[in-house]
């Protein structure tokens, strides 16, 4: 299929798969029949679309979290079944990402699947008399919020390659736009979603999982939307825009650091939490904590004891030229049904600190830094109050507060500040990537469909 783009391929795969489900007359919330819902959908069909969209919006997580975490040396991904998670992802032997790079295709494909499913939801909502005009805004606001977030995943991983934003016509996908233009478009999509949500009344006409429990109203989803807008704004270096978005989000300097929406796991037909591993088990396929994360921590930092389990014996991987060994294991997940948050108040506080510092509001930045430090049982900040010193401190705190989360913070953070050379490669002898490469199927599409 060399003349077919990834976007076209996944969309037609989506259509064919749902058609097969229709023939069997087995309802599947992840893949409802497109034909059955684009005209005169009833409330149950709309609910299926919402549930499917929420589920599909988590499909990027496994590959993105493991790959981005490995690129940044948050973790090493040990896999005894396939050496490429070490050899390729660490850039051993001078390896660099190419258009068919191992294990990362879903970082590009899965978000576009969610984006297309959101398009189907919007189309269905706009072509049914089953709900009121006000209720329709809840659906479209949620769909656009998910779309904005999903576009961020390929945008950040492709970086200077750019991404396609216009994928409404699968046979004629729009051109690739620059990273900067993509971020601008993402903000526009999020803004449209926010506008819909604040006009959508007080209750949702559909149900979401427990991952959205604190935000299960149009106003609650609007706060999630603005949190994502704040994250996007710091990628744009729109510091005032970040602060403006935070004011409308669930940002709270004194609030619960873990508050935020999450991907849920373990409720069939959903999978189990892919990052839960039995502690101290004799296993060989898991992401192990990079030793530098523990070594570089400040003494007494409670984030280490909260997040990291010290094994009785190290896990060792010998597929590269240098044997890799880690005594540390992720212990954040209490069970295989633990939800995985994708944006939290702790991140919002750090966004506030960064934007404030960039705008010269150093006292505000220090206040936010100290909220993070004291929550980790660290003394308050005593360094210099200038931009360079504060950004260094903020990046350090982001490393420990946002370690190994789905958004791949550390890799992108160091890239944003031209500090990729700070990633520790001495233990593995590998290299540091700047971005992934455009998938070869996308290159072929543009080559054969001029």
Tell me the per-residue pLDDT of 408-437, one tens digit each, with 9 for 90 and over: 999 999 999 999 999 999 999 999 999 999
| pLDDT score of 11 more than 50 | no
* pLDDT for the residue 320: 81
H-run or E-run covering 303: helix 302-307
Tell me the per-residue pLDDT of 289-317, one tens digit each, with 9 for 90 and over: 999 999 999 999 999 999 999 999 999 99
pTM score, whole prediction: 0.93
Tell me the per-residue pLDDT of 331-361, one tens digit each, with 9 for 90 and over: 999 999 999 999 999 999 999 999 999 999 9
Count of alpha carbons within 13 angstroms of residue 290, beta-carbon side: 28
| Buried-state track 37-75, b at ≥16 Cβ within 10 A, e below 16 | beeebeeebbbbbbbbbbbbbbbbbbbbbbbbbbbbbbb
* pLDDT for the residue 19: 30
Tell me the per-residue pLDDT of 353-409, one tens digit each, with 9 for 90 and over: 999 999 999 999 999 999 999 999 999 999 999 999 999 999 999 999 999 999 999
Cis peptide before 269 (omega within 30 of 0): yes
Kindly indicate the confidence band of residue 267, based on its pLDDT and cuts at 50, 70 and 90.
low
CA–CA distance, 334 with 95 (Å, rounded to integer): 36
Domain 9-267+341-433 class in CATH: mainly alpha
Q: For strand 286-289 and strand 308-317, is the pairing parallel, antiparallel, or unpaired?
A: unpaired
Give the residue extent of every domain in the chain: 9-267+341-433
């Amino acid at each position: 299929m060399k003349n077919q783009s990834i976007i076209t391929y996944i969309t037609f795969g989506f259509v064919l798969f749902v058609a097969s489900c229709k023939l069997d007359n087995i309802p599947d919330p992840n893949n409802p029949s497109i034909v059955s819902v684009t005209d005169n959908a009833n409330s149950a069909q709309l609910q299926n679309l919402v549930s499917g969209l929420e589920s599909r919006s988590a499909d990027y997580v496994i590959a993105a979290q493991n790959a981005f975490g490995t690129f940044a040396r948050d973790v090493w991904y040990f896999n005894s079944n396939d050496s490429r998670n070490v050899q390729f992802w660490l850039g051993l032997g001078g390896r660099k990402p190419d258009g068919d790079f191992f294990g990362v295709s879903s970082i590009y494909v899965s978000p576009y699947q969610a984006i297309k499913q959101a398009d189907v939801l919007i189309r269905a909502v706009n072509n049914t008399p089953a709900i009121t005009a006000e209720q329709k805004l809840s659906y479209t606001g949620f769909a656009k919020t998910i779309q904005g977030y999903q576009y961020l995943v390929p945008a950040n991983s492709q970086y200077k390659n750019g991404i396609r934003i216009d994928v409404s016509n699968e046979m004629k996908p729009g051109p690739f736009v620059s990273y900067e233009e993509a971020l601008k478009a993402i903000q526009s999509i999020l803004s449209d979603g926010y506008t819909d949500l604040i006009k959508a009344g007080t209750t949702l006409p559909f149900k979401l999982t427990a991952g959205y429990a604190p935000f299960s109203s149009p106003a609650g989803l609007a706060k999630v939307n603005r949190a994502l807008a704040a994250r996007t704004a710091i990628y744009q270096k729109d510091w005032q825009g970040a602060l403006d978005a935070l004011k409308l989000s669930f940002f709270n300097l004194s609030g619960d650091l873990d508050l935020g929406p999450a991907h849920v796991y373990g409720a069939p037909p959903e999978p189990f939490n892919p990052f839960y591993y039995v502690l101290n088990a004799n296993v060989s396929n898991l992401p192990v904590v990079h030793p530098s994360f523990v070594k570089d921590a400040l003494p007494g930092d409670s984030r280490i004891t909260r997040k990291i389990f010290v094994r009785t014996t190290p896990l060792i991987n010998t597929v590269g030229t240098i044997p890799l060994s880690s005594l540390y294991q992720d212990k954040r997940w209490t069970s295989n049904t633990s939800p995985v948050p994708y944006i939290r108040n702790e991140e919002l506080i750090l966004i506030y600190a960064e934007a404030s510092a960039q705008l010269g509001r150093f006292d505000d930045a220090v206040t936010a830094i100290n909220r993070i430090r004291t929550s980790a049982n660290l003394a308050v900040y005593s360094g210099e109050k200038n931009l360079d010193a504060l950004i260094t401190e903020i990046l350090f705190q982001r490393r420990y507060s946002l370690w190994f989360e789905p958004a791949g913070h550390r890799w992108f953070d160091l890239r944003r500040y031209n500090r990729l050379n700070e990633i520790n490669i001495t233990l593995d002898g590998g290299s540091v990537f700047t971005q992934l490469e455009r998938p070869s199927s996308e290159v072929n599409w543009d080559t054969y469909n001029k």
